[in-house]
Amino acid sequence: MKAIIYARVSSTTDRQNTDRQISDLMNYARYENLDVIKIFEERISGAKKNCDRQILMDALEFSSKERIDIILVSELSRLGRNAFEVLETVKLLVDKKINLYVQKERFLLLDEKNNPTMFAPVMLATLSTCAQLERENIQYRLNSGRKLYIERGGVLGRRKGSCKSTEQKKEEYKEVIRMLKQQYSLRNIAKLTDYSLSTIQRIKKEFI
């Protein structure tokens, strides 16, 4: 069977890479006697629309033209973090009879007759929705925290010549600190919180 690997990281810097994803998927391919024809690597946020992710589009087009049997990904979130975009990709694969193997969740999209497996549609819908909800929840908590901070007399930003206490900064940036401790990439945190990358870097240096 012919296969391709699609690997993605959100960071555009050298801080993250796709080496682990590719290594794990190559081991799976060897175990299953799959012939990996090509590896597609992408550095872009999973929150982007499919049409803005050129490498993903190239991978899907290549799979269709070259009659690839299966696409290997390390986890569902590598396909994206927007439920509707992920499901659009899945529908395309089902229509083209191209299987999908998701290593972390350990399931296949299609069965031996190239029909969707019994639990695949439910699992895909659930997992992709969770990925999107995670992003929305982060934004909600951040906005809620900012509102509470202001109601308690806090002032966003810094007046010239002023200096915030450590406790004030912990309160204002608590959502950023939480995401840093959970090892979100700096660029992802910046996108989710609307703080600048330099601010995120400063908070990391001071609190992590």
Q: Pairing state of beta strands 99-102 and 107-108? A: antiparallel
How far out from the chain centre does Cα 130 lie?
A: 11
Q: What does the pLDDT profile of the chain (208 residues) look like in tens digits?
A: 999 999 999 876 666 789 999 999 999 999 999 999 999 999 988 778 888 899 999 999 999 999 999 999 999 889 887 777 888 898 899 999 999 999 998 889 999 999 999 888 787 777 677 767 776 777 777 777 777 777 777 666 555 445 677 888 888 888 889 888 887 778 778 777 778 888 889 899 988 8
**Would residue 33 be called left, alpha or beta, if left means φ above 0 and alpha means ψ between -120 and 50 degrees?**
left
- Which residues face 43 on adjacent strands? 9
pTM of the model: 0.62
Residue the block writes with tokens 């909600």: 140
CATH fold label, 2-127: Rossmann fold (3.40.50)
Report how far residue 36's alpha carbon sits from residue 18's, in angstroms, rounded to the nearest whole number.
Answer: 16
Map out the domains of the chain as residue ranges: 2-127, 163-208
The single-letter DSSP state of residue 51 is G
Q: Are 184 and 200 in contact (CB under 8 A)?
A: no
